[in-house]
């Protein structure tokens, strides 16, 4: 069944297609004004796929979703942080725009319907990391997204988010800070008194799809899952390296002597 044939009312009652369409259209126009770039749209498969990106500022991935829908006509669902579903107002708004609780069951329902599904494995832990950990993937022991892709024979598409990590100078451990005040949510803090964002260009680079439907014995499945996650992480880090080096004015690694052969 193609994604356009999914009955949203049956799949997720809280999803409101007219609202989602207006929201992402307005967001895409805002993205154009801010000159947000999305490169590599040709790498988005025509069928089901699991889009995997780093979690930076927080809601930055919404610009990516809006651009994909505007240029391809395809809706992007996002597997959201479980914590969102504890806050009624945020839960209602997020669900209306196409965010679902990030469970294995929801991933299976969407991917089996040939949908595009976005996942940010690092969650809040990665989104609220201090400035010393910029462009680091903090995925811990999260392998569920790889297992979901394999179960549904969906390719994984790595997408690097650049610029959002530089918007705010977060310091310290937001989770440790919240525990000291007995708060049920993380408490980020910026380096300065006022959390004024830096003016940074936002850019998303979409990498080539990584096939996941490789055969494996039951005993070897865990090794295949670990290998695939390392491959996704490697693809993202390679994009980070190239983009950040280019932004700093360093030459392309392919043009350096060490890349082209030994020096004369």
DSSP 11-74: H-TT--HHHHHHHHHHHHHHHHHTT-EEE-GGGS-SS-EEEEE---SSSTHHHHHHHHHHHH--
Query: Are 103 and 147 within 8 A, CB to CB?
Result: no
- The Cα 158–Cα 107 span in angstroms is 17
Q: What is the pLDDT of residues 82-141, one digit of tens each?
A: 766 666 677 788 888 888 888 999 999 999 999 999 999 988 787 788 888 888 899 999
Contacts of 52 (CB under 8 A, 6+ apart): 118, 119, 120, 121, 145, 156, 157, 158, 159, 232, 236
Q: Which of 79, 81, 52, 233 is nearest to 155 (CA)?
A: 52
Tokens of 29: 């126009």
Give the predicted TM-score (pTM) of the model: 0.85
Maximum C-alpha span of the chain: 67
Domain 3-251 fold is Glycerol-3-phosphate (1)-acyltransferase (3.40.1130)
Per-residue pLDDT of the chain (264 residues; tens, 9 = 90+): 444 444 444 455 678 889 999 999 999 999 999 889 999 999 999 999 999 999 876 677 889 999 999 999 999 999 987 766 666 677 788 888 888 888 999 999 999 999 999 999 988 787 788 888 888 899 999 999 999 999 999 999 999 999 888 877 778 877 788 788 777 677 777 777 777 777 788 899 999 999 998 887 778 999 999 999 999 999 999 999 999 898 888 877 655 555 555 555
Q: What is the pLDDT of residues 59-71, one digit of tens each?
A: 778 899 999 999 9
104 DSSP 8-state letter? H
3-state DSSP call for residue 103?
coil
Query: Are 154 and 50 within 8 A, CB to CB?
Result: yes
Residue spans of the domains in the chain: they are 3-251
């Amino acid at each position: 069944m193609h994604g356009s044939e999914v009955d949203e009312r049956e799949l997720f009652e809280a999803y409101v297609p007219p609202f989602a369409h207006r929201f992402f259209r307005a967001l895409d126009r805002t993205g154009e004004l801010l000159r947000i770039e999305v490169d590599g749209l040709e790498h988005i498969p025509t069928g089901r796929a699991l889009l995997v990106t780093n979690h930076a500022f927080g809601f930055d991935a919404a610009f990516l979703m809006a651009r994909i829908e505007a240029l391809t006509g395809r809706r992007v669902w996002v597997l959201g942080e479980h914590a969102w579903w504890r806050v009624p107002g945020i839960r209602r708004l997020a669900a209306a725009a196409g965010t679902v609780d990030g469970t294995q069951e929801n991933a299976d329902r969407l991917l089996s319907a040939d949908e595009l599904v976005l996942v940010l494995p690092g969650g809040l832990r990665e989104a609220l990391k201090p400035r010393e950990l910029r462009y680091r993937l903090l995925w811990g022991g999260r392998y569920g997204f790889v297992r979901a892709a394999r179960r549904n024979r969906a390719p994984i598409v790595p997408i690097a988010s650049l610029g959002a990590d530089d918007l705010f100078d977060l310091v310290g451990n937001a989770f440790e800070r919240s525990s000291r005040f007995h708060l049920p949510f993380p408490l980020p803090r910026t380096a300065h008194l006022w959390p004024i964002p830096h003016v940074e260009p936002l850019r998303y680079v979409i990498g080539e799809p990584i096939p996941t439907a490789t055969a494996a014995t039951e005993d070897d499945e865990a090794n295949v899952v670990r290998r695939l996650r390392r491959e996704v992480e490697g693809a993202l880090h390679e994009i980070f390296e190239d983009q950040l080096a280019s932004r700093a004015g360093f030459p392309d690694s392919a043009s350096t002597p060490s890349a082209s052969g030994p020096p004369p």
